[in-house]
Amino acid sequence: MEVVIRPDSLEASLIAAGIVARLIRENPRPVLGLATGRSPLQVYAELVRMRREEGLDFSRVTTFNLDEYVGLPPGHPGSFRAFMNRNLFDHVNIPPANIHVPDGSAPDIPAFCRAYEESIRAAGGVDIQILGIGTDGHIGFNEPSSSLGSRTRIKTLTEETRRDNSDAFGGPDRVPPHCITMGIGTIMESRACLLLAFGKKKARAVASACEGPITAMVPASVLQLHPRAIIIVDGDAASELEKADYYKWVYAHKPDWQRT
C-alpha cells in the first residue's frame, strides 16, 4: 500500500488524474472503474480539462461504475448515472456502448449482478479502480460486515451512509435504502486501486484502513492486501495516521522511475 499525502485536495486530485491519464495514453484498451461522491470530482474535472485543452482521447476507454441505487431510473437527478453524465461522460468521448453503470431498475437484480460481473471479465478486468471511502470505512457500497470476498450484489445501506449521501435527495429519509454495488472481491481483482479521501471527516476511516487490522468491519482495510493500492489524501484526511511523516518522506524520496 502506498500512502500519498498532499497539502490539499486539488493537488492530490491532480496526481490521481495524472495516473489515470497515463493509463489512457499508454494502454490500447484501458478499463476504468469509476466512483461517485465528492472525492473524485476534481479528478473528473481535470480529466475533462485534459480532453478539452490537450486532446486526451477517451475513444478506447471502457468504464464500469461501482454502484447505483436500487429503484432509481438512470435519468433521476440523484442517480449515479446522472452524476457521471454531469461530471464526466457528457464532456469526454467515451463511446456510449463502453459505459457501464449498474441498473437500479433491473427487473431481476441477481441476474443483472451476475451479468455485470461477466461484462467486467469480458472487458479484460479493470485496470484502475477509483475509490472513495465512507466515514465508516466502506468502499463502493460495501458496508461494514460485508464479506471481503463478495461479488456484485444488492446491499442495504446504513443510516450513516444515507445521511452522508442525502444532499441530492433533500434528506436522508429520501435516500433509497438499497443499492447495487461491486463486491470487495470484485474490487480487489482490479490491477490497481486508487483511493481518494479528503477532509477531517475521513481521517479516522483512513487511519483504520491503512494502519488498522484487516477486518470486514472496515472494508477498505482489505486494500492492505492489494499489490497496487495507492491511497491519496490531503493533510486533514491524513491527520490521524501514525506514520504520516514516514509516508511523506517516502514520497519525497522516490526514484524518478517509481514516481506515482
pLDDT tens-digit readout, 42-67: 999 999 999 999 999 999 999 999 99
Arithmetic mean of pLDDT, 74-78:
86
Alpha helices in 95-229 (DSSP H): 109-122, 159-164, 184-188, 203-211
DSSP for 64-91, please give it.
Answer: EESEEETT--TTSTTSHHHHHHHHTGGG
143 is catalytic: yes
Question: 108-152: per-residue pLDDT in tens?
Answer: 999 999 999 999 999 999 999 999 999 999 999 999 999 999 999
253 is catalytic: no
Residues contacting 181, CB < 8 A, separation 6+: 66, 67, 102, 140, 141, 142, 152, 153, 155
Q: What DSSP character marks residue 236?
A: T
Confidence band, pLDDT 50/70/90 cuts, at residue 227: very high
Strands 62-65 and 99-100, bridge-based pairing: parallel
54 is catalytic: no
Catalytic option among 103, 117, 143, 164: 143
Q: In what order do the strands lie in the sheet with 153-156?
A: 67-69, 178-181, 153-156
DSSP SS3 for 212: coil
Cell of 137: 470505512
Nearest to 27 by CA among 1, 62, 54: 62
With a cut of 70, say whether residue 161 has pLDDT above it. Answer: yes
Nearest to 34 by CA among 167, 182, 165: 182
Catalytic option among 68, 117, 127, 136: 136
How close are the terminal C-alpha atoms of the chain, in Å?
12
pTM of the full structure:
0.95
Cell of 89: 461522460
Nearest to 140 by CA among 61, 223, 74: 223
**pLDDT of the residue at 133:** 98
Arithmetic mean of pLDDT, 144-171:
93
Catalytic option among 46, 117, 138, 164: 138
Instruction: Tell me the backbone φ, ψ of residue 33, rounded to 5 degrees.
Output: -100, 130
Whole-number Cα distances in Å, 194 to 19, 41, 79: 9, 14, 23
Arithmetic mean of pLDDT, 194-198:
98
41-54 and 80-87 helices, crossing angle to 10°: 40
With a cut of 90, say whether residue 168 has pLDDT above it. Answer: no
| Assigned CATH topology for domain 2-253 | Rossmann fold (3.40.50)
CB 27 within 8 A of CB 128: no
Catalytic option among 46, 67, 103, 164: 67
- Give the count of beta carbons closer than 10 Å to the beta carbon of residue 253: 7
Q: Where are the domains of the chain?
A: 2-253
**pLDDT of the residue at 260:** 60
Cell of 172: 436522508
100 is catalytic: no
**pLDDT of the residue at 211:** 98
- How far is residue 125's CA from residue 30's CA, in Å, rounded to a whole number? 10
